[in-house]
Amino acid sequence: MHGLVCQGKAPLCGDGKLSYLDSMQVITTTEDLAAVCTRLAQHPYITVDTEFLRETTYYPILCVIQMASTEEAVVIDAIAPRIDLAPFFELMHDEKVLKVFHAARQDIEICWHRAGKLPHPIFDTQVAAMVLGYGDSISYDQLVQRITGDVLDKSSRFTDWTRRPMTEAQLVYAVADVTHLRDVYKTLSADLEKRGRSEWVSAEMEILTSPDTYRADPENAWQRLKSRVRKPKELAVLMEVAAWREREAQSRDIPRGRVVKDDVLGDIAVQAPTTLEKLGHLRSLPKGFERSKWGEAIVEAVNLGIARDPKTLPRLERARGAANGGATVELLKVLLRMTAERHAVAAKVIATVDDLECIAADDDADVPALKGWRRELFGTKALALKRGELALAVEKGRVVPVDRV
């Protein structure tokens, strides 16, 4: 059968190698890919993974695709000269087939960039694992070991996936990523159903497959930065220089950090150099940077920021400046940890530190922790704690909530 890597549940022999590697054929043509996708589309779910490179580019370079059903597993050479990936992207958009990933965001981003479509419906085993208490952002190999007992060889993870032909070790690695994922999915899915948490994961998958999650709009690039600007003028400058950097990185297809690093953007926002001379005085920039092709562009962006009407800017969060805000956040952290341990859910998936800071400052904060299942599990109690309606006490060595109303 063309393009078939392995059939059945166990792709590996006792020595960790493919049982019939010598007779295996990697899919390299559109015709074979279409045939594979037609077969896989007959199954209720498939497992999917990709191998890509993005160290030197803005957009990831898709190199290899792995997919598996309960009957077969295939490896697709995504950079083969005679292959069109359209059948793969059509399968990703087939509503009748559930696509199972682990840590799906970057895989989904590739589909969005290459095809303008998002895989749907999907199931992310990393998210499911967090909801079920396996820890914060558990890695695939750790999850496989905890569920199946198998130890995966991850030595090929950071190899050059653009080189051809692929090595035996790379093929073993690629196939193992999707065959073990079948058992992980079945275990997690059954546990979610048993514990009544399937809808929790479904809600997270809708966010993960929203186009808004993947649109790299330069005007919103500042939101991903951790720089803590404090004044409207600083925010305005940050927004403009971040937008400039995003457009530059996209147009040249290079990583953002190769244009200007994140911490330098924060420095520029605070110092707001309005001339090339002032830009050259920034210690965070290499000597002579102001004379480069980007010097004038940065100064222009700074001046655009300074000229912005403050009324058009988003409101700066003041969580850290609130009276007793720090103490409130620390109490909320204790409540979060208690809730996570009590319900066997990873704390990170319930609320982030940023969420807690926003809740400490505003009862109506627009954060995930105050919405849906998170609000039911944690958010309502967090607000009660903040209002003095709930207290925390230590009972038999454990933190417990105590109603004060």
Domain of 333: which CATH number? 1.10.150
Contact criterion met (CB below 8 Å) for 135 and 346: yes
For residues 206 and 255, membership in a common domain is answered with: no
Listed residues 184, 213, 242: the one ending a domain: 213
pLDDT tens figures, 258-316: 999 999 999 999 999 999 999 999 999 999 999 998 999 999 999 999 999 998 898 77
Question: What residues make up the domain containing 151?
Answer: 4-213
In this structure, what CATH number is given to the domain that contains residue 258?
1.10.150.80
Domains in the chain: how many in total? 3
Residues 158 and 233 in one domain: no
Alpha helix (H) residue ranges in 160-294: 168-194, 198-208, 232-252, 262-271, 276-280
Same domain assignment for residues 304 and 323:
no
Boundary of a domain, candidates 249, 283, 312? 312
Instruction: Report residue 3's pLDDT band, with 50, 70 and 90 as the boundaries.
Output: very low
Record the pTM. 0.86
Residues 92 and 162 in one domain: yes
Domain boundary among 182, 197, 213: 213
| 240 plus 168 within the same structural domain | no
Q: Is it the case that residue 228 has pLDDT exceeding 90?
A: no
Residues 100 and 121 in one domain: yes
The confidence score (pLDDT) of residue 270 equals 95
Whole-number Cα distances in Å, 117 to 92, 111, 124, 202:
8, 6, 18, 19
Q: Domain check: are 24 and 163 in the same one?
A: yes
- The CATH number assigned to the domain holding 181 equals 3.30.420.10
Coil, strand or helix at 147 = helix
Do 261 and 112 share a domain, yes or no? no
Closest CA to 237 of 188, 301, 181, 284: 301
pLDDT tens for each residue of 123-176: 999 999 999 999 988 999 999 999 999 999 888 888 999 999 999 999 999 999
Asked if residue 167 and residue 205 are part of one domain, the reply reads yes
